[in-house]
Chain A
Amino acid sequence: MLRTSLESAVNDARSLISEKFQGKASSSKLVQNTLLTRCIASSRDWNEIGTMRSQTTEDVRSQSIPVLNLPSEHPLSEQGGPLDIQAPISSVEATFGSSIPRSQGNSNPLTDFEQLHRQPHLPCFAMKNYKRNGDFFGRNDILDMIDKSLLPTAQNTDELDRNLVRSFALCGMGGVGKTELAIEYAYSRQSKFDAIFWVTADDKNILTEEFARIAVDLGLKDEREVQDLTVARELVKGWLSNPVRSYDAPTSSSNEASWLLIFDNADKFDVLEDFWPTTGLGAVLTTSRDPLAKSQTHTANWGIDLRPFSSPEAMQFMDIITRRFLPPGQPTQDKEIAETVDKLGGLPLLITQMAGVMARLRLSYLEFLTLCNESGIEYINKTGNSAKTPEQLYTISSKIGLDGLSARSLGLLYMISMLDPERIPERILTGACSIVSVEDFPKNLAQYFEARAQLLQASLINQNPDTRDIWVHRIVQDVAKERLNQQHTVEVYEAAIYAVSSAWPFARLESRFNTTRYRECAALFPSVIRLKNGYGTTASLDTFRHDLPSAKLFNDAGWYVRCLR
């Protein structure tokens, strides 16, 4: 097999090299690829001579693109003359065998490892199917912030700085508007970059495909040639590192192109390792649920945790997107709008989604709120969805990131969803590990930390770095609770009662006025209130049994708050 390949390769090489040296039309890519593919057969020896660094893929053919020409003084070229293909040779020798014997060749050797490039097609605006959202609202402060990090500044003229890739990470929970913001940034700053590329970065295989698509969009590869994805990726990375407008033009700043690469959904940092450009006149914008993306070497120099809209922003946004379908001349409904956006947690995704539901079902705000209180957001969303099949149904829980969580992470999130969203002292949760018998709740600290890490990584919960208190968005709590069936609701609720009770500093009658416990009580009391408020609903479920711990907890907490008055 090797022998046949070599024989054929040498023949191809002779004609190809002859063409090149005689100044004829540039070699056909097809012939080159055939030649090189045959030459190296299945060897990594190219790496040994430094042609191209090892790739993560096992497809060694991908490393065969450069046309290697040895200088005449290279010892291996001393062999001279036609190769004796009868002799046993290594694939390395075969590779070198394609070099031109000095006696036959041009006295001007080609530059080592020269790569034959197609000219880039610029400007290039490769946004996949992402269109600009005409309803995009607000966030101007964040767009400005991204500008400051990504756009070259007048002060930034130092050669070293110019060649460093600038980056910014947009972090936050699902539905907070990271992707929409990145899309808006790309469209609104289109004139600032010669090339903008959008890639989905949640999986290495997908990302490889995405880079291959960029290679085509940028004109570095023909669509018919991109079967070799790793080659395509390296071509793109090569251009990002050396972003020329034309390969024919001399090196100068005027021949440099600026680019913006957007990694969307970059929740796993290791996925980016093979794709992160390290040099070049470019900028990288990353969206990620993981707040650590702001500080990862491979993801960002700068970044921000994107928050849901403030109440006034959310109201304004809701008003804008519902105005088009609500009958004109409606009285001001500020109160209902405020209640609606509060229920939707100020999340742009949910506001947009529910506005669509209101439009489809012809609901007024009041009707929407009534339905929402009765049925829950997830149900309304499905009811108002025009999709026909279950697969098409858009689930809120999947969008905000609950799907894909481990069972323990979900177990922890369910417990968290019963407590006060603003402040959950972590000792409630850590203490619960050893006393709670709910099946999926972490049973020890190791399991707890693992589950907590996953929830933090998905930005479903947050942690105060000073107090270590957990806080969670209300909408996450609501959606999490909606996933629970009746029995599970009762189990988690009772577990939460036990968990808070174990942390609550109960006072004996004799020392009930002692103020030393007040600080501890203050931290836990809001969660007790949440549990008390949820008691009626939970107690109405069939499997619920009234139990003493809740009475003890509510009694003592009631006494505590009585003392404060």
Chain B
Amino acid sequence: MQIICDQLEDKSTEEVAYIVRETHHNQGTAAGETNDREHFLTHSRLWLDMMLKRETADGQLLLDYELGIGYNEVGNAYAMNGKYQVAIEHFVKSIETFQALPDYEDTMLGWPESNIGLMYWMLGYHDDAERALTEIIEIYKTAYGTDDTNSFKYVASVVSRKKLLTVVQDRQNVVRTWKCLR
């Protein structure tokens, strides 16, 4: 895709720019999935940097869902590179971006808040981790019910890190939900 995008004759349109950003996003994510920390960070940053250049008609930074996800993804990349504090800063930026959107919903925090919980746990702040994770569990329980089968991302982020379950009060619920998904 990168090759295709590089070869496109007209790269000036937002449609092309979106595809180029999406390509970096996908490449970064794929690198993260394969533990290629360096490329995960490189592509995620490129993606975020492209978004930070977008402006509204009155010259303000364009805030949208994509930007929120972009901050979250760069936070993940930093976390994978062991830079937990920088990662937390990006997750917080992600939450702030989502909360600034006119169509904000609490469920948008599924990724960054559970990631913050994970960072706290990695840094040894278990109480903070439990608070963050419990909060996001409640948000999703409220939105989708106890046996939530919509929230692949939420469950995956929590359950794939099994040790983290020790700090999650509603452990049985999470396990049951995970089984439903499988």
Residues of A bordering B, CB below 8 Å: 509-510, 513-515, 535, 539, 545-548, 550-552, 554-555, 558-559, 562-563, 565
Contact = CB atoms under 8 A, between A and B. Distances in A.
A513 B4 contact: no
A555 B1 contact: yes
A270 to B, nearest CB: 51
Contacts of B4: 535, 546, 550-551, 554
Contacts of A513: 152-153
B134 interface: no
A548 B8 contact: yes
Given A509-B65, A513-B152, A548-B15, A558 B1 contact: yes
Contact of B65 (A510, A514, A550, A559): A510
B26 to A, nearest CB: 5
Interface stretch (B16-24, B76-84, B166-174): B16-24
Contacts, number: 47
10 contacts: A513-B153, A535-B4, A546-B7, A554-B4, A555-B23, A558-B1, A558-B30, A559-B26, A559-B29, A562-B33
Given A513-B152, A548-B8, A558-B30, 5 more contacts: A515-B152, A550-B4, A551-B8, A555-B26, A563-B152
A471 B37 CA distance: 42
B158 interface: no
Report which residue of A509, A546, A565 has the largest number of chain B beta carbons within 10 angstroms of its beta carbon.
Answer: A509
Contacts of B88: none
A551 B9 contact: no
Interface string B30-50: 100100000000000000000
Contacts of A539: 7
A546 B10 CA distance: 10
A509 B19 CA distance: 12
Contacts of B15: 548
B67 to A, nearest CB: 10
B106 to A, nearest CB: 14
Contacts of A510: 65
Given A513-B152, A551-B19, A552-B19, A562 B30 contact: yes
A546 B19 contact: no
A535 to B, nearest CB: 8
Nearest to B10: A548
Nearest to B16: A548
A551 B5 contact: yes
Nearest to A565: B33
Contacts of B153: 513
Nearest to A556: B22
Closest 9 CB pairs of A and B: A546-B7, A551-B4, A513-B152, A513-B153, A551-B19, A551-B1, A546-B4, A555-B22, A510-B65
Interface in B66-100: 66, 69
Report which residue of A510, A545, A548, A565 has the largest number of chain B beta carbons within 10 angstroms of its beta carbon.
Answer: A548
A562 B30 CA distance: 7
A548 B30 CA distance: 21
A513 B150 CA distance: 9
B55 to A, nearest CB: 19
Contacts of B7: 539, 546
B9 A545 contact: yes
Contacts of B9: 545-546
Given A546-B4, A550-B4, A558 B26 contact: yes
Given A513-B152, A515-B152, A555-B1, A546 B65 contact: no
Contacts of A551: 1, 4-5, 8, 19, 23
B116 to A, nearest CB: 19
A551 B23 CA distance: 9
Contacts of A559: 26, 29
Nearest to B30: A562
Contacts of A509: 22, 65-66, 69
Contacts of B5: 551
Given A554-B1, A555-B22, A546 B8 contact: yes
A515 B182 CA distance: 12
A554 B65 CA distance: 22
Nearest to B70: A509
Contacts of A563: 152
A190 B38 CA distance: 74
A548 B26 contact: no
A533 to B, nearest CB: 14
A86 B69 CA distance: 110
Nearest to B111: A513
Nearest to A509: B66
Nearest to A546: B7
Nearest to A515: B152
A565 to B, nearest CB: 7
Nearest to A551: B4
Nearest to B19: A551
Interface in B103-127: none
Contact of A548 (B19, B65, B66): B19
Nearest to B34: A565
B47 to A, nearest CB: 11
Contacts of B69: 509
B20 to A, nearest CB: 9
A309 to B, nearest CB: 39
A550 to B, nearest CB: 6
A558 B23 CA distance: 10
Nearest to A532: B1
A552 B13 CA distance: 14
